[in-house]
Chain A
């Protein structure tokens, strides 16, 4: 560390890290009018996709939609950069459908960088944040490794895998944030000195091969779909020619090759010490854990239009490079594939997320926010979602405004952050729809209805964008009311149509709304039947029709979830005063008291989700809160009410 003076540049918000979390944080803060600096180790690596060339998927796709609905950038950017897009889970209900797009990685980076460059109040600085300047538990500024000092009261740490990063291939390992990139070796110690506890995780990526050397004839083609919309609610993506992916399977040969070389696996040799994600196991791990499976899928995904690199999803490994080549060539369709980039594992420090508040600020150091993989998550979508929320809250904090929190009943983003800071992580966290209690409400198709109002109030969306959402909501209500008040009776024609749809005829008159609850009756057909019998339902665009249809189909279940939310709201949002003395509560288990004292939950709902805190403990806690008197008796002002 060079000696330097504190006479440096002043920013309202500084973001460290130019990955998916960092760019959302920097964009949100600067768009909210804060003077913002984005510090990155390499200006050439902004918005890099170091692992799979895709955005979205079940659970993750919902996150991207929510980011977009709040005014974040990820959705718009993938819409510019995708080379293939499809809707997943179409055989299931709308709540679990999600988009997934294959990205042109280079295009994704370039277009994101263009957006950053065009954003007011935002400066990009190349450098390494080496030390946090903290006094009296408050952030004062940041020292860069090159001696520069950035004076700031709010800092968003979005360092991904770079803190004391170590790359591992076979028995070879060296310090690196990603393969070929310098790690951030200094900041970890400074954070620890400030009282922040760090853990160690591991992640890995599969090899890339030359797309001209694979044999598509031995694989299953996986084409994209012609969809009307993309991830963004606000712009329709330009039409383009999509490129296919391919699916192949590992063979007995592949498995034998892996087995023969398992002794060289970092898993076995102990070179990897951090904990890796279970949902993204290496091929070595799959063969160890599931010996009875005779094949595993390998998705062959192109990485872009201007490169021949293809990504071998499913062959993640950090075995030595020569073994990787053997594994690849033992797999059907890849016999002659030429390895371009070997797979590798990376091990890194993460910030134990239970030290954070629901608005992603450290409970130890005021003004220190953190987001993304450094909080123990994995995935571009999870990172971007946190980046957006950390950026918003850093900007609010710089202005001295109450934090912005999304509840578990409002967004997957709320589920994500609550899970992280309340339950902690014991492997890199990835979103699944099964993590959400109110999955039927948190849908891909209604993200804008849920969140656009917040985006507009925060200054991330235009008034006109919100207006469009409100108009649609109004039209949905209008059409629902029309259907519920319009009675259809059989005129001979109607029952014939119903039977041809595979549903039973009606004997009594029924409202159109009732008929729509039948899964076999599509709204478009119903509208036609209404017109045929002399009604005029009016003209609505397809988004309105989609909403009306979904609501009719899910009606009973949606009502149940809404009732559930109302029932839990009083407990869920019951605020616990900041200085509440958890350690003085009698009548709860030792484990519960210990956890509560350590985690200091902000609401009763959060307390109830801490592992080791039972419903009985919550009842006792509630009793003590009542006894503590009127202070904090209301619901938390910080929780955003829709």
Chain B
């Protein structure tokens, strides 16, 4: 018998200490046809069950579990007459070096729902119970394999509705955010240790504080926290979708634009019932970004809701929106009403959409209405640029708004470009690097913001020459906030740091 592999760095957990004695099983691959399907099982009975239902092509059932982390080739056999149910590869991974820190068995069977369900059914028959959504990860957390930030991103993974969101969530699951926050927190603890050493060991031989140096270290941490906070919008956009308002005068084609976007993507994901009719939202995926349309009721009514429902409601829609698509007729430009609304909108959040460019009045050799290849003609570029310039000038913020995107909602021209523009704007030219940590939850964002504010106060306190114990208050508060995200407490770290750094000893 090959001894179990127990990496030295992994704390050994006795089976009796495990969170639960139940063994869970589930189909792990996504629904839909595929070449290979994986059915996963975790828990103390995983290996015995596998021994019962798996027949290796070579050797006996005792090969199952004899060696951890090894693939065996064979068949899953039926419980009654031992007939072959499917030809599979079986992976037995023994605790604790597994995803859940429990014994884990994976059955790699043929893809397709039928084969996977048949395998799962046999496992359930032998005593496993169906896993709840996210339960494998929950066990990983409860058994101490992953930390809080990782566990939080589990729910992001499960909820992810676009591939971009999924990639970001998976990256967090790998611990990116936790690592980053721990680094920043450690930096603050080291600054605090210098202050505290001077307070608690003032009689000792400790060098005078370099307050400027400390202030610049803390300021540096604050800048990094700012960077993380900037990701919060992106993270929220990825996970929850971007609240989007489509505004414009009557008959500029807002509904057709919506339909064009939807047609294009065929991606209305769901209707989420809210508490009032107004909060019913429609979502669509646009350039990998989930858009939540604000006040689609107004759009759906096919009337101009800005005028009909009043300026207040439009203002509210705009205020609550992260993204504004301001639609206007390419020939007519923005109305005064649109202008006054957009005057209060952050240009960084708005995209001007010049619709109906297929109807642009034909000058000279302009296109005839309905002509198929009108967009190939050179005049269009010149003309739309002119329209755009007029619009921007009319807004009085020429430098701030990007030039309008010319589209034709009815023909579908320019919808791809609009989609790209949405994606660019949401990811805000920060070249969203999905390998970078993101603040995924509101809780994380809030605590990071608190940490940042306290950090700033500490910098001020240092620069203004406030007494050490007051600077320390601000630093502590920042460290506590970050610790609340990563699940670390302050005092033991601090005291270890003091003793590691200073020779204390009266």
Contacts and interface: CB of A to CB of B under 8 A. Distances in A.
Interface of A: 52, 57-59, 88-89, 92-93, 95-96, 100, 249, 278-281, 285-286, 289-290, 293, 295-297, 299, 313-314, 316, 423, 432-435, 437, 439-440, 554, 557, 560-561, 586-591, 594, 609, 611, 614-616
Contacts of B203: 57, 88, 100, 299
Contact of A278 (B142, B151, B499): B499
Given A280-B506, A611-B492, 8 more contacts: A299-B506, A433-B469, A434-B472, A434-B495, A590-B18, A590-B19, A614-B148, A615-B487
A313 B143 CA distance: 48
A614 B144 CA distance: 11
Nearest to A436: B491
Contact of A289 (B142, B148, B503): B503
Given A434-B199, A609-B489, A614-B148, A296 B205 contact: yes
B200 A434 contact: yes
B266 to A, nearest CB: 40
Contacts of B398: none
Contacts of A316: 505
Contacts of A440: 469-470, 473
A279 B487 contact: no
A290 B472 CA distance: 26
Nearest to A614: B487
B200 A433 contact: yes
Contacts of A279: 201, 499, 504-506
Contacts of A59: 200
B200 A589 contact: no
B505 A58 contact: no
Contact of A594 (B17, B489, B495, B506): B17
19 contacts: A58-B202, A92-B468, A93-B470, A96-B468, A100-B203, A249-B205, A278-B504, A286-B505, A290-B503, A297-B205, A432-B196, A434-B196, A586-B20, A589-B144, A590-B19, A591-B144, A611-B489, A614-B148, A615-B484
Contacts, number: 114
Contact of A587 (B142, B143, B196): B142
Interface in B456-473: 467-470, 472-473
Given A434-B494, A589-B144, A614-B487, A286 B199 contact: no
Contact of A590 (B144, B484, B491, B495): B144
A295 B494 CA distance: 25
A92 B143 CA distance: 46
A590 B492 contact: no
- Which 3 pairs from chain A and chain B are nearest by CB? A93-B467, A614-B487, A432-B200
A642 B184 CA distance: 38
Contacts of B473: 440, 557, 560-561
Contact of A435 (B141, B491, B503): B491
Most buried by B among A89, A434, A591, A616: A434
A435 B491 CA distance: 6
A609 B142 CA distance: 19
Contacts of A557: 470, 473
Contact of B467 (A92, A278, A290, A296): A92
B212 interface: no
Contacts of B151: 616
B448 to A, nearest CB: 15
Contacts of B435: none
Interface of B: 13, 17-20, 141-144, 148, 151, 196, 199-205, 467-470, 472-473, 476, 484, 487, 489, 491-492, 494-495, 498-499, 503-506
Contact of A616 (B148, B196, B505): B148
A440 B474 CA distance: 12
Contacts of B13: 590
Contacts of A554: 470
A296 B505 contact: yes
A19 B239 CA distance: 63
Contacts of B19: 586, 589-590
A281 B505 contact: yes
B380 to A, nearest CB: 58
A626 to B, nearest CB: 20
Nearest to B14: A590
Given A589-B143, A616-B148, A313 B506 contact: yes
A433 B199 contact: yes
Contacts of A296: 205, 503, 505
Contacts of A615: 148, 484, 487
A615 B148 CA distance: 9
B202 A89 contact: yes
- Most B CB atoms within 10 A — which of A296, A423, A435? A435
A560 B17 CA distance: 42
User: Which of B144, B468, B469 is packed against the most chain A CB atoms within 10 Å?
Assistant: B469
Contacts of B143: 589-590
A96 B195 CA distance: 12
A95 B467 CA distance: 10
B125 to A, nearest CB: 26
Contacts of A58: 199-202
B497 to A, nearest CB: 10
B473 to A, nearest CB: 6
B141 A589 contact: yes
Contacts of B148: 614-616
A93 B199 CA distance: 10
A492 B225 CA distance: 48
Nearest to B198: A92
B442 to A, nearest CB: 15
A499 to B, nearest CB: 19
Contacts of B504: 278-279, 281
B236 to A, nearest CB: 21
A92 B202 CA distance: 10
Contacts of B468: 92-93, 96
A286 B205 CA distance: 13
Nearest to B200: A432
Contacts of A588: 142
Contacts of A96: 199-200, 468-469
Contacts of A249: 205
A561 B469 CA distance: 13
Contacts of B491: 434-435
A281 B499 CA distance: 10
Nearest to A295: B205
Contacts of B470: 93, 440, 554, 557
B484 to A, nearest CB: 6
Nearest to A58: B200
Given A93-B469, A286-B505, A589-B144, A297 B199 contact: no
A95 B503 CA distance: 24
A58 B494 CA distance: 17
Nearest to B197: A434
A215 to B, nearest CB: 21
A88 B144 CA distance: 45
Nearest to A90: B202
A286 B200 contact: no
A590 B473 CA distance: 33
A483 to B, nearest CB: 22
A28 B122 CA distance: 71
A59 B469 CA distance: 13
Contacts of B18: 590
A433 B470 CA distance: 13
Contact of A92 (B142, B201, B469, B506): B469
Nearest to B141: A589
Contacts of B506: 52, 57, 279-280, 299, 313-314
Contacts of A95: 469
Contacts of B489: 609, 611
A299 B469 CA distance: 26
B78 to A, nearest CB: 35
Given A92-B469, A614-B148, A589 B505 contact: no
Nearest to A222: B203
B487 A616 contact: yes
Contacts of A314: 505-506
